[in-house]
Amino acid sequence: MTHGMVMGFASVLLPELRKTTDIDESTATWIASIFGISLLLGTIVAPVVMNTYGRRSANIFSASLMTVGWLIIAFFGSASSLLLARFLQGFSMGMLADMGNILIGECCSPRNRGVLLSSICLAIMIGTFIVHFLGTAISWQSIALVSACIAFVDLVIILLSPESPSFYATKGKYEECRKSFHWLRGYSEEEELEKLIKINMTRKCNETVFSDKSIKDKVRRKLVYLKTTLSKREVYKPVIIMLHLYGINQWTGAITFDTYTKDIIDVVLGTDINFPVIIVSLDLQRLVSSALALVVVKMCRRKLVLVTTMSINVICYLSIALYVYLKTHSMLGFDHFFIGLVLIHIHLFSTMVGAMPLTNIIAGEVFPLEHRGLCGMLGIIFFSINETINIKSARYLFASIGVHGAYTIYGALVVYCATVAWTLLPETKDRVLLEIEEEFRGEPFIVESKLIEDNNEIEKV
């Protein structure tokens, strides 16, 4: 929710800054986009914290930064304080973006994983709706204070939640792993639990073989590890898939629309409209669409959802671009603002049902357990770079080639990213994470006879 509130807050904050302060346009766009840069830094730090101290500790740190960021916005209104606050929020979002999908993927059952991962998108939309709705009634400082309270509630929830069973397994804490797994899922999925423990027991046994090497050998082994890891099929194929899915998430239009809502609506619908009512209607539609996405991902295959929603998205991009071009050149024989409104609704519907939930779902399903932090970091680095470029460049694209030109470019980017992702992505619906990893590997982790030998050796050690 706080992630959505950070993204939606820019569309409330920027118009008010232009009216009530002497902050120039360049500074205003930096206030809107700086969280994309700090998101990159948070992404780099997240794997280190997650793998060393656990998913829960990283989550606590992330929620604390988000709360502090909102409090700074609520009580300090200068450009420097706004930049600092948005920087802290971006850092928090970077950690959460790398960790949230991984954590949910590790903690929930395969039969519920898709729904729970897609609920991230619903929560983001709820956060955006709250900000936009409050923006029609109270000041942006008061909105920040409400957001700080929500972020604090988030922190309390995390403090009451358990650590991921997968983290305990990678650290050799198998009893804690069992307790956490049973707390989260009960006792109906013991086969997955035992397989998770056995695989990590084998890995821990192999690690002890090298524990007596010198520091020089350890450094060399780390470099070899990095090179070897990135050359593995179960690593580079999911990373390539997620780079393009994060590209889809970024360029399908929801983030651009949230940041420059008024700029886009003024061009597509005109300025003589009831802007707050239009915004609330769009937010309500996106909430309904996000809720519908829970049903869609529960019933439909991932690749079917991807190709269907991305086709709708590209068609809407091109339709809006053509409509705006004809409208600005007075070439329409008939025009009504409902035409543009319907196109915007369908466009955002495609992002809420497809691009947004699918990115979260696939990110929680395809990365290998042993290298999950590294893979997530690479994906979010790409996402944060795209987010900064997107938000920073959108206003200049609108000014130079118009909304219709920018939307045509965005449509082309979506076509490319969706084609690559659909080609490489295996079907992951309702499958155990270890099975998905085995498909990327092209072979099972341990054949049955080898597993018996390894278990005997582990018992001896």
Chain centroid, CA 171 distance in Å: 26
The answer to whether the Cα torsion of 169, 172, 176, 182 is positive or negative is positive
Most confident of 12-16, 21-25, 28-32, 129-133: 129-133
Contact assessment for residue 98 and residue 90, using Cβ atoms and an 8 Å cutoff: no
pLDDT at 264: 92
Structure tokens at 80: 């420097």
Torsion region of 273: left, alpha or beta (phi above 0 gives left; psi -120 to 50 gives alpha)? beta
* pLDDT single digits (tens) 59-89: 999 999 999 999 999 998 788 888 899 999 9
Q: Which CATH architecture has domain 2-167+233-430?
A: Up-down Bundle (1.20)
| For the chain, domain boundaries | 2-167+233-430
Report the predicted TM-score, pTM, of the whole model to 2 decimal places. 0.71
Distance CA 230, CA 425 (A): 18
Q: Which secondary structure element, helix H or strand E, spans residue 277, and what is its range?
A: helix 275-299
Alpha helices (runs of H) in 76-109, residue ranges in sequence order: 79-107
Distance CA 106, CA 103 (A): 5
Cα–Cα–Cα angle for 169, 174, 176, rounded to 5 degrees: 95
* pLDDT single digits (tens) 180-209: 999 998 998 888 898 888 888 877 665 555
Give which of 281, 188, 236 is closest to 374, Cα–Cα.
236
Sole residue written with tokens 């006879």: 449
pLDDT at 26: 72
Q: How confident is the model at residue 451 (pLDDT cuts 50, 70, 90)?
A: very low
Distance CA 386, CA 382 (A): 6
Residue bearing the bigger pLDDT, 121 or 126: 126
pLDDT at 381: 80
Count of other CB atoms within 10 angstroms of residue 329: 9
Sole residue written with tokens 């696939």: 362
